[in-house]
Structure 1
Amino acid sequence: MAARLAGATALVCVTVLSPAAYAQEGRQDRPGPAGPASPALNGSGECTFPMKKQIEGTPWALQRVLLDELWQDTKGKGVRVAVIDTGVDNANPQLKSAVDTSAGTEILTKKMEKGKPADGTDDKVGHGTKVAGLIAARPVKGTGFVGIAPEATIIPIRQNDQNNSGNDRTMAQGIDHAIAKDADVINISQDTTKPLDEQSDLGRAVRRALDKEIVVVASAGNDGMDGKLKNTYPAAFDGVLAVASSDRNNERAVFSQAGRFVGVAAPGVDIVSTVPGFGQCSDSGTSFSAPYVAGVAALLRAKHPDWKARNIVAQIEQTAERSINGHDSFVGWGVVDPVRALTEDDTPPESPRPDPGPPKAPAPEPAHLAMSETPQERTERYATYALGIGAVLVAVVAGTATVVRDTRAKAARRGRSESNSHV
């Protein structure tokens, strides 16, 4: 997965393919992450964009959110979210007004338009367009799908393609471009398992973004079928909000990479989003969990512009729906709860903390254990013995007297009987 390209670590757009598409890609060694070239799949078959029809209903990942309550204070207006990916198509009606083409760029091929780098809207893969839609797709007639922050602005940064040509150096350039274009949130739905330290190009770029109080959200990766813990980058860098995938039951999706670096989980199975040109498709992967969380971060940034990046990350982690009191390596602090994150926000948290456990039951009163009797108890015991013995003696004496009396009476009667017989 982490092949070397031009001396740099390759980054993979983490999209999960169907078995058929997986085989077509020639990646039969393991069912982990695959390149973003294959079309997304939905229940009706392959999705070749642009789609002819829209998905009418409300996707399950949005059905669990009370959108009116979520948006009671903001829909993300004024917040700029950089999508560093395969580009973001702005022909789709749900993204046309969301994408800031003047701030976008093409890093991968250095393609020029009118004397300057292309604007990053040439998405031949569809991966980046799906990511952007989950963050900021505008509502339109004919579909129940909408972005989590439908008034936020997308900065399109094309840094990868169908061949996974992007690497840690071009990713670092994308982050620096996002900083230069005043991004408030950066979404990175790409990863590598090649170890990178804080002094790598990518590590330093992430630190520059964090130092500018930009919230950096990254996908955890899709190579988690074996359940083993391992780091992926940039998600595992300190300060990055790493996002795993959850399913409809709030459990870790089987493909989602586990690791101690995981901050939260978010819906990542059968996720509906926009595709280039027109319409929507469903797809699965931590690639689509990360932008769900990035949308929540955009709403928090809009509502609390004075909060630090670490406060926003801690708020998302602290308000997540948990299956245990604390953190684990599969879903982090729990599955993101967008409404709770935006409503239980009286004070900016510095870091997440475990939930208080159930109240402890009062300790039972210790039982009294008498190791020996007291003098009074001994006196009472002796008195009881004396009474018992006395009663037995009385009974014996009374019984003996009765026997003597009866014996004497019988003897007297016998004597009289014999006297009468002699007369």
Structure 2
Amino acid sequence: MTRTLPARTTLATTAALAVTLLTAPAATADPGFGQCTFSRTNHKYTGTPWALQRVNLDELWSRSKGGNTRVAVIDTGVDTANPQLTHAVDASLGANFLPPKDKKGQPIDRGNAKGTTDTVGHGTRVAGIIAARPMKGTGFVGLAPEATIIPVKQNDAEGHGTAGTLTSAIRHAIKEKADVINISQDTADAAVPDEDLHRAVNEALAARIVVVASAGNDGLGGNSKKTYPASYDGVLAVAASDRNNERAAFSQSGDFVGVAAPGVDMISTVPKGGHCTDNGTSFSAPYVAGVAALIKAKHPKWTAREVVAQIEQTAERSISGHDRLVGWGVVDPVRALTEDDHPIETPHPDPGLTHAEAPTPAGLTLGETPRERTARIATYVAVGVAVLVAALGGGAVALRDARRRRRGLRGRG
């Protein structure tokens, strides 16, 4: 059965309490990966996704693989039937906070009580970006492949997630001693939720838990507004970047944005097995949550503020300081794990960069298919051969002329 999730599908009926999953309009990074089908014979991505190609994984994992860290994925559940997630998820720590009935009194298909069913596929993709285990036949793997996922289900495709269920989910993550919490959701229409959600976030921060949240996908046309819980102080709000390290056109802007991370053509795991691609800050946030898990594993005594500041300080910048499009820059996992001699509390401008205007947002590119890549490489080869032939031909003519001149000089002498 094909499952798709439209951009910013509202998942509740009361605007002030509605919670939205943050996916952007679908793009196709590879033929066959345009739609997510949930089956054991689903497409397997055989290459290495671009978001991983930008990282020297060997160097990164020589510093940390995220072992002994717990990352709570507060989402639509995490399907452990995908073999890359079977051993990444600890179901004994999971929970399901969807109500048993909807507002009309109709039963809700809640799945199991431990959050390890996912009929939407959103939470399964989020979890894969964080901690999918390596598997033969695919270059896709989570950034923190030894971290443990706590599956916390509090949302679905029918609109049953609320700020209240999100609050309960955060408190469950605290109880289960999460090191990092990933929230790839926000309240609908950027509505300020009940203060209890804010209190739950502060409780997590007080427990030294790093809270990572998606910035939002309403950035087209330069739209800028706060989203929650991403806008709360202490939460690391993540925007989406593209292959050029520029803000994806759909990505939310604002002073609350902390960093950006890949969010276009994001390959990840889906229920049952295999992979598919998707766009959105929903998939930028877990990229950063994975980096946070790596840092927490290496520096278990660092506070949440110190982990966040480390990620922000080592991000790849286009200007010297912070800007409203990509925050402190695009996350650099290797720098975050290597330039870490001592913790810092607050990022600071980079004196090596001169002040410049913030970059303009990039258009939403749909990626390069294998066919396009093959055609591009073939063009490069053809041009290269033509240049080489021309160079050899020119060299031959020059050599012939030189020999003629030498023969002429000898005859006149």
Structure 1 position 131 matched with structure 2 position 119: no
Q: Deviations over 1:218-262 (max 9, x none)?
A: 000111102122000000000000000000000000000111100
1:323 paired to 2:318: yes
Change (3 A) 1:358 1:125: closer
Q: 2:47 aligns with which of 49, 57, 67?
A: 57
Could you tell me the TM-score, scaled by structure 2's length? 0.78
1:177-256 equivalence runs, <5 A: 177-192=172-187, 193-196=189-192, 200-256=195-251
> CA offset at residue 135 of structure 1?
0.3
**Cα 1:66/1:121, change in 2 over 3 Å:** same
Please list the CA deviations of residues 137-185 of structure 1 after superposition, one character each: whole Å capped at 9, or x if unmatched.
Answer: 0000010000000000000001100123211111000000000111000
Q: How far did residue 74 of structure 1 move?
A: 1.8
Distance 1:268 1:179, change over 3 A: same
The residue aligned with 1:89 is: 79
- Matched letter for residue 73 of structure 1: R
Per-residue CA deviations over 1:353-411 (Å, capped at 9, x if unaligned) read 01115699xxxxxxxxxxxxxxxxxxxxxxxxxxxxxxxxxxxxxxxxxxxxxxxxxxx
Q: Distance in 2 between matches of 1:151 and 1:278?
A: 19
Counterpart secondary structure, 1:145: coil
- Who is 1:14 aligned against? 22
Task: Indicate conservation of the 8 Å contact 2:320/2:349, yes or no.
Answer: yes
Report the aligned-residue RMSD.
Answer: 2.2
Give 1:41 deviation, angstroms: 8.2
Shift in Å at residue 15 of structure 1?
1.1
Is 2:67 the counterpart of 1:77? Answer: yes
Q: Match for residue 46 of structure 1?
A: 35
State the AA in 2 paired with 1:119.
Answer: K
Partner of 2:373: none
Q: 1:300 aligns with which of 276, 295, 307?
A: 295
- Is contact 1:8-1:169 (8 Å) kept? no
The code of the aligned residue for 1:48 comes to T
SS of the equivalent of 2:276 reads: strand
Asked if residue 355 in structure 1 is aligned to residue 350 in structure 2, the reply is: yes
**161-170 vs 49-58, which moves further:** 49-58
Kept in 2, the 8 Å contact 1:9–1:194? The answer is no
| Contact 1:42–1:283 (CA under 8 A) maintained in structure 2 | no
How far is 1:11 from its partner?
0.6
Structure 2 residue identity aligned to 1:77: G
Larger radius of gyration: 1
Displacement of 1:327 after TM fit? 0.4
SS of aligned partner of 1:154: strand
**Structure 1 residue 42, shift from structure 2 partner:** 5.1
2:91 to 97, 101, 114: 101
The Cα shift of 1:117 comes to 7.1
CA, structure 1 residues 246+126, in 2 after alignment: closer, same or farther (shift >3 Å)?
same
SS at 1:265 equivalent: strand
**For 1:125, what is the secondary structure of its paired residue?**
coil
Deviations 1:81-101 (CA, angstroms, capped at 9, x unpaired): 000000000010000001010
Aligned to 2:56: 66
How many Å separate the matches in 1 of 2:22 and 2:203? 24
Q: Return 5+ residue gaps in structure 2 as ranges.
A: 1-7, 102-110, 356-413
Count of residues in correspondence between the two structures: 336
Q: Relative to 1, partners in 2 of residues 1:146 and 1:3: Cα closer, same or farther, differing over 3 Å?
A: closer
Runs of 4+ in 1 over 6 A off after TM superposition: 1-4
Q: Who is 2:360 aligned against?
A: none
Q: Distance in 1 between matches of 2:311 and 2:354?
A: 26
Higher RCO, Cα 8 Å, sep 6+:
2
Secondary structure of 1:9's partner? Answer: coil
Question: Helix, strand or coil: the match of 2:62?
Answer: coil
Cα 1:312–1:53 shift into 2, 3 Å: same
Task: Give, in whole Å, the separation in 1 of the partners of 2:324 and 2:127.
Answer: 27
Aligned to 1:267: 262
Give yes or no for the alignment of 1:284 onto 2:272: no
Q: Please tell me whether the aligned partners of residues 43 and 276 of structure 2 are also in contact (alpha carbons under 8 angstroms).
A: no
- Matched position secondary structure for 1:43: coil
> Residue 8 of structure 1: CA displacement?
5.0
Q: Distance in 1 between matches of 2:173 and 2:100?
A: 16
Q: Distance in 2 between matches of 1:248 and 1:326?
A: 21
Q: 1:346 to 1:335 in 2, by over 3 A?
A: same
Q: How high is the sequence identity, in percent, across the aligned residues?
A: 64
TM-fit CA distance, 1:202: 1.0
CA distance in 2, matches of 1:231, 1:84: 20
Deviation, 1:52, is 2.9
Q: Which amino acid aligns with 2:44?
A: Q
SS in 2 for 1:254: coil
Aligned to 2:337: 342
Measure the CA separation in 1 of the matches of 2:144 and 2:29. Answer: 25
Task: Name 1:374's counterpart in structure 2.
Answer: none
- Residues in 2 aligned to 1:218 and 1:358: alpha-carbon distance in whole angstroms: 28
Structure 2 CA distance, aligned partners of 1:62 and 1:279? 17
Amino acid corresponding to residue 15 of structure 1 in structure 2: T
254-263 or 161-170, which deviates more: 161-170
